């Protein structure tokens, strides 16, 4: 396939590296002035991986779109609508999209595939599940999910993208996998807060309650409750709740210690969207509420976390 990866940050550059290894023709796009792109142009490396010379680099969006059959998008979820407003000016006939971000639009609660449909009728899939660049580049394999409402596209992508490093599973619940993948970042922030407050042992309670919380939301929205227990959500907890490489976990840990992480943590904005959806669908989301109260309402983390896990007597589910 001729593939353009949109976004040259840590994950986008990995996608370009991986898809090149899967024998596709890959172009990596970064916006004009992107420091990440300039570093690749100078050294072909970002410190985590080195891109071979055969991967084309460009800051020309028209060129990236024109040369590709498949547009693999890896940018900030909250920037996606603005990006689509620009991208919709291009000729997207015959293109398909693979969205590799895990987020929900904070202001509307819309999933990324819903936003995409507002601007194009091009078929779309999502690529979600556990994995960190640092592990993949060491040759440590993992399992991930591709989901789409277009079964033919899903089949084609799974066959084209699978390899020794990543085994892909076929998703069968696009809504559930999008909500599950986005919300695991919020659970990751909560996990980091437990780490930062010396309550790491409570991660077992966090994982069991967090999965049920999100499963209820997925069901209320019309998805499959069990999707929360798959690779898109619970299956991604190891990479998000425990890993030293998790941005969201690290953000939560430093936040409750009064320190600035200084990097993107998608869960910070996603929690707003989840609470909006919880209100819309009448689903209580106590873990999401706790994260929101600590981050945005500046409530005492010690008290909020203790109230959440230690002070209430309730049934397990």
Query: Which positions are catalytic?
Result: 184
Q: Pseudo-torsion of CA 28, 123, 99, 269, nearest 10°?
A: 130
41, two tokens: 């142009």
**Where would I find the H helices in the chain?**
10-21, 35-43, 61-66, 80-87, 112-117, 133-136, 151-161, 174-196, 203-220, 237, 247-255, 267-280, 286-295, 301-309
CA atoms within 13 A on the CB side of 143: 11
What span, in angstroms and rounded, lies between the C-alpha atoms of 262 and 265? 9
82, two tokens: 């603005």
CB 275 within 8 A of CB 182: no
- Name the residue among 251, 263, 269 with its Cα closest to residue 78: 269
């Amino acid at each position: 396939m001729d593939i353009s990866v949109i976004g040259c940050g840590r994950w986008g550059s990995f996608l370009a590296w991986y898809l090149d290894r899967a024998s596709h023709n890959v172009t990596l796009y970064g916006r004009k002035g992107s420091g990440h792109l300039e570093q690749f142009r100078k050294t072909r490396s970002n410190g985590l991986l080195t891109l071979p010379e055969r991967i084309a680099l460009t800051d020309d969006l028209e060129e990236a779109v024109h040369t590709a059959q498949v547009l693999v998008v890896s940018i900030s979820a909250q920037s996606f609508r603005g990006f689509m407003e620009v991208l919709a000016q291009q000729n997207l006939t015959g293109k398909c999209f693979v969205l590799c971000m895990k987020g929900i639009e904070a202001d509307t609660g819309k999933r990324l595939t819903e936003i995409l449909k507002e601007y194009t009728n091009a078929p779309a899939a999502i690529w979600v599940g556990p994995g960190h660049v640092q592990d993949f580049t060491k040759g440590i394999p993992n399992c991930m999910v591709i989901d789409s409402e277009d079964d033919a596209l899903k089949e084609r992508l799974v066959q084209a993208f699978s390899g020794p490093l990543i085994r892909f599973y076929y998703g069968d619940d696009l809504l559930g996998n999008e909500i599950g993948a986005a919300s695991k970042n919020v659970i990751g922030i909560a996990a980091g807060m437990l780490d930062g407050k010396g309550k790491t042992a409570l991660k077992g309670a966090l994982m069991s309650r967090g999965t049920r919380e999100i499963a209820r939301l997925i069901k209320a929205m019309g998805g499959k409750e069990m999707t929360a227990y798959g690779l898109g959500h619970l299956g991604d907890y190891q990479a998000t709740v425990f890993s030293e490489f998790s941005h969201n976990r690290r953000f939560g840990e430093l936040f409750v210690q009064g320190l600035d992480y200084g990097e993107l943590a998608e869960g910070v904005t996603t929690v707003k969207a989840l609470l909006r959806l919880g209100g819309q669908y009448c689903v209580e989301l106590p873990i999401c509420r706790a994260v929101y109260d600590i981050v945005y309402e500046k409530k005492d983390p010690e008290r909020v976390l203790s109230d959440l896990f230690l002070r209430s007597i309730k049934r397990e589910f």
